Amino acid sequence: MANLINLLASLLQRVAESNDLNHSLRTQKLSIFNGLIRPGISIQQYLERIFRYANCSPSCYVIAYVYLDRFVKKQPLLPIDSFNVHRLLITSVLVSIKFMDDICYNNAYYAKVGGISTIEMNLLEVDFLFGLGFQLNVTPNTFCDYCIYLQTEMMMEFPPVFSSPLVPTIGADHCSIKEDDCQSQHQHHHHPQLAV
């Protein structure tokens, strides 16, 4: 699970830095997700904080990544950058927990975890849901595609001592499927666009 958190932080850091560099070339819409200054906490530290206090299933982090990818595709004028990545992250995790887990805390709790007010958390959630077009369902095939994508990225970033035929702890409670099984279930794979 630590490797998954590290990987997601690394991927989001790369995307944010890339979009920071291209910021002047883009027309960006104003959004509640945008802060006036960059938060003092790194993406890595922020994600670790969420992991420490959210008490959600590992699959929620994969689903949150799916939601971020969908959000970016549906909101091209709101690219992930250093000014919005933290708010997008806490909101995507909140929405994934509510959709995936049977038990979750209220928005006030997640607001404290995210270092924002409850009112802001509520507004972020609503804006995120509308930004996604309320498309929250993630099919097993899509989930598996993202697991394979993240597993591949993880292998490149954190080479294992020995290789395992199973999708790693990413959503192990929902998708402990061999990679070959996933590939045989459907003919084409969705490749996440949330990358530089």
Closest CA to 80 of 135, 9, 147, 150: 9
Domain ranges of the chain: 2-131, 140-185
Is the pLDDT higher at 178 or at 8? 8
Q: Which residues contact 58 (CB under 8 A, 6 or more apart)?
A: 1, 4, 169, 170, 171, 172, 173
More confident call, 179 vs 192: 192
Q: What is the 3-state composition of the chain as percent helix, strand, coil, each rounded to the nearest 5?
A: 60, 0, 40
Does position 182 have pLDDT exceeding 70, yes or no? no
What was the pLDDT predicted at 173? Answer: 42
Cα dihedral 162, 56, 78, 69 sign? positive
Identify the band that residue 176 occupies on the pLDDT scale cut at 50, 70 and 90: very low
CB 106 within 8 A of CB 46: no
H/E run at residue 9: helix 2-21
Predicted pLDDT of residue 122: 95
With a cut of 60, say whether residue 5 has pLDDT above it: yes
Q: Which of 13-27, 146-160, 161-175 has the lowest mean pLDDT?
A: 161-175
Q: Are 96 and 68 in contact (CB under 8 A)?
A: no
Q: Which CATH class is domain 2-131?
A: mainly alpha
Rounded to whole angstroms, the Cα distance separating 148 from 17 reads: 24
Does position 158 have pLDDT exceeding 90, yes or no? no
Q: Which residues contact 11 (CB under 8 A, 6 or more apart)?
A: 65, 153, 194, 195
Integer Cα distance of 81 and 88 in angstroms: 10
Model confidence pLDDT, tens digit, residues 78-131: 888 888 889 999 999 999 999 888 778 898 999 998 888 999 999 999 999 999
pTM of the model: 0.75
Amino acid 46 reads Y
Matching residue, tokens 């690394």 = 10
Q: Encode pLDDT of 17-53 as tens digits.
A: 777 777 654 555 667 777 767 778 888 889 889 988 8
User: Is 56's pLDDT higher than 80?
Assistant: yes
